[in-house]
Structure 1
């Protein structure tokens, strides 16, 4: 199961992939977990990573021809599969370094650029994409970017964010059907300037559903009467998954459900998946910005209300850091936060109570403040969980960059 990217959830025979969230049950003997993973979610980061390693192994030989093949396959894979890191994740990564022990700002900025998250233990950092864990950095000597690239060259973050790649030549056109000219003319004359003729240069997640007819065909078994028009869903980039009323974007792999008759598929697409380049080009910058501004206002209002509730619960002003003078107070504050909805949701996502509790304790004890967002707590739990899994009580699993790099250099010179 582990080689297939799964871990046991503790429920029946259900196994889960922590990279993509896929859960599979009903296993039968001699089933290959990786093939199941590949079939169910070929776009999973773990699956892509394993496939890339296989390509390298199959093509890596000492002669120059084979080496050229290996280099070509890496480059081809880079162009066809892209990792887009959401801005919110970048912001969370930056905030994990708020109590970074090294004095120089340069080292912290280098860590952030290199894709590392701070672990709240000394100067220990981890990459959530490849699980590389490093500690005991030497300022002005260790280069986080170079170390990440050297020690984990097949890490998705290294391949997509730290290695320069050429833009893809794949073009995706949401072609205009001649069957509905009047409807399209109305859209094109609308103030939102919805554009169907523009080309998006990148690779879609679901190549089979690039064209409108292919997406339209999936809705033959669509039975949700109180939903937007099928044409609107299709033109917004969605195809029907065949499950309840869940539709998925062929381009960004974003899925939505629980549709209402008055919902606008394109607007909902942009609202929930603002980084989908297909939806962004489809709507045009004016509509895209308008939707994002409206969403930001809603989020600010929600954060403001959450902050007010937290202030009432802890009797602490929003403008003051929490003053925790003893462990009894810390325990009471943590207990109160374990009752929050985000903590309960994480419990339902199979995070152990001890992990969630430890994250709250570290946050309040070390940073004297609540998590800025639910996402910050979620990432903190992932960071702690991955340390538990990959260190396993053995400190030898924590890499000391200067020592490891010296071993590599010595091996190269010998």
Structure 2
């Protein structure tokens, strides 16, 4: 995987904020490997202190990698949608700024990760949603989750495998691979992640039995005018699963089906100080 393509990993995006390691004398093969690993890093340091909300960890979690320019030394770019933001101020929240600039759902990462993180901060434990378009089972959110898998999901090419990318997206999973696990997925509603998917695994069942109270299953839409509450619907049957148990916990994962922007998108840049 090229250094640019490796930005699909959250860790690689975070490492892009670090300066390249000092060159060391080594064999040619080692030099090539080191160069590949540091190609996404810049000699320009991240200019803001850790007191800023926009830190390497929070920016990477929001889908950004460090992409400075002479006129914008704090520019970052989303690996999936190629939107670039610069001019960060102390209270600018990366997830919020990314979500604000993806109101038309043109960035799956902003739609199903950043926006969900903000909803968790602003909602009660009852998971009441006033906008039906933000119901976890909404078709547009399902489509955005599916986009994070792209063509990289390893089990789509395995004949008869039940954990296809379409079923994963329908069950609330977002693709968040790591160098160590190419089939790691995450739910950002309950902060659960699973990997090691077997051919007979049912994505919906695996999610529900580990986190039955996840907002993906319990969220309700309450319309302000009528106070009517509508439940989410789940059409896929739940079947018992035999086999090893997978552990769940939180993860800051990633996006992107390829190293190029979706549909050949061009870079867009916005200076937050001028808004």
Establish whether TM, by shorter chain, passes 0.5. no
Higher relative contact order (CA 8 A, sep 6+): 2
TM-score by length of 1: 0.27
TM-score by length of 2: 0.37
